[in-house]
Amino acid sequence: MLTMLASADDVALRGRHVLTVPDLSPLEIGTVLTLGAHLKSARNTDQLPLLRGKTLGMLFEKPSLRTRVSFEVGMTHLGGHALFASGNEFMVGSRETPEDAARVLSRYVDAILVRTHAHEPLERFSAAATVPVINGLSAAAHPCQALADLLTIRERFATLDGLRLAYVGDARNNVAASLAEAAVMMGISVNFGAPPTHRPSEAFLAHLQELGKPRGATARAFTSAIRAVRDVDIVYTDVWTSMGEEHLAERNAASLLPYRVDAALMSAAAPHAIFMHCLPAHRDDEVSADVIDGPQSAVFDQAENRLHAQKALLVALLTDLKGMPV
């Protein structure tokens, strides 16, 4: 049985949408991480049916392994149910407006997870929905991945505050954006290592600086991968070409080859540094096989933590968290 530790009067996540990381405050992110760690520690004992009778609608315009399966398994663990629609069954805005689809689905299910191509239809969908909408990856953001990433980093270092992370490669993609927002909000300084073609915009760097200010975290972009990685605690990369941008694959590979994370690049990081990747990975493109399969790699803990962080997020969005250790 889960231990009942604390009241959660100061955390009001119930009923909220989570489309981007800053939809959550640092306090709320901390709540989700603490609850996620607790649910993880209880995974082999007893799981309270915290979501008994609840249904999560999962709508996917794009392929998924981790997001789809971890949300569905998470709902099952918590006594709830998940249903999945993809392809012809669901494309935001294709058969009806995003608003009509959201209004209808809100009458069937208790929360909706959406993976879309563009971010704007997701915003329209969530504005009309009357149940929580969770972004399961859009062109702009991947907040669920970022929560699992922070849970993994906190497990490895027992803290987030004051750590340093380097994101190397395509630093304009959705994973990089949400990871960097989550990191600076929780006190982790971020270095991007990317060529000019894949460097975050100055506006986004300024946004990160603002988000990081309360905890003294910074965000900087380097053209040199080695300079970005020097002495950091965490080295992170992702595929060179995101889903839906396959026509850019050749160009991206040519630009990003110097940013492959290999043993030489890892040796510039702190000796205790970990390697992270949201998966799926392409060995010997963005990361060498000896790094992703080596002792510094945290990628499978990271993938597992999708399950625990998302269970916590679902409990936070669908219950009042009373009695939960948050």
**Active-site residue list:** 115, 142, 145, 238, 278, 306
Sole window of 38-46, 60-68, 225-233, 267-275 interacting with ligand CP (rule: CB under 6 A): 60-68
- Cα dist from 203 to 54, 61, 135, 200, whole Å: 40, 29, 23, 8
- 16 Cβ partners below 8 Å, 6+ apart? 23, 132, 317
Using the rule CB under 6 A, which residue among 4, 27, 65, 289 binds ligand CP?
65
Assign 75 to helix, strand or coil.
helix
Per CB under 6 A, does 64 bind ligand CP?
Answer: yes
| Cα(218)–Cα(226) distance, integer angstroms | 18
Measured from the CB atom, the residue of 303 and 324 that comes closer to ligand CP is 303
Task: Pick the closer one to ligand CP by CB: 5 or 65.
Answer: 65
Residue 107: other Cβ atoms inside 10 A: 8
| Largest separation between any pair of C-alpha atoms in the chain | 54
Q: To the nearest whole angstrom, how small is the minimum distance from the Cβ of residue 260 to ligand CP?
A: 19
Query: Which tokens go with 184?
Result: 């600076």
Which position has the token pair 């995101």? 242
Q: Does 174 bind ligand CP (CB under 6 A)?
A: no
Question: Which one, 106 or 302, has the nearer CB to ligand CP?
Answer: 302
- Contacts of residue 160, defined as CB under 8 A and 6 or more positions apart, other chains included, come to 150, 153, 154, 183, 186, 187, 188
Smallest gap from Cβ 150 to ligand CP, in A, equals: 14
Nearer to ligand CP, 134 or 324 (CB): 134
Nearest alpha-carbon partner for 165 in 180, 177, 143, 151? 180
Among 20, 31, 34, 67, binds ligand CP (CB under 6 A): 67
- CB of 217 vs ligand CP, minimal distance in Å: 24
Distance in angstroms between the alpha carbons of the first and the last residue of the chain: 16
Q: Which stretch binds ligand CP (CB under 6 A): 22-30, 63-71, 191-199, 229-237?
A: 63-71
- Which of 144, 195, 187 minimizes the C-alpha distance to 164? 187
Our finding on whether 326 is near ligand CP (CB under 6 A) is: no
- Residue 152 sits in the site that holds ligand CP (CB under 6 A): no
Q: Tell me, what amino acid is at 69? A: V
Q: Which of residues 254-293 bind ligand CP (CB under 6 A)?
A: 278-279
Instruction: Candidates 145, 241, 288, 297: give the one binding ligand CP (CB under 6 A).
Output: 145
Q: Give the count of residues interacting with ligand CP (CB under 6 A).
A: 8
Q: Rule CB under 6 A: say whether 66 interacts with ligand CP.
A: yes
Given candidates 137, 232, 265, 316, which one binds ligand CP under the rule CB under 6 A? 137
Positions that interact with ligand CP (CB under 6 A): 64-67, 137, 145, 278-279
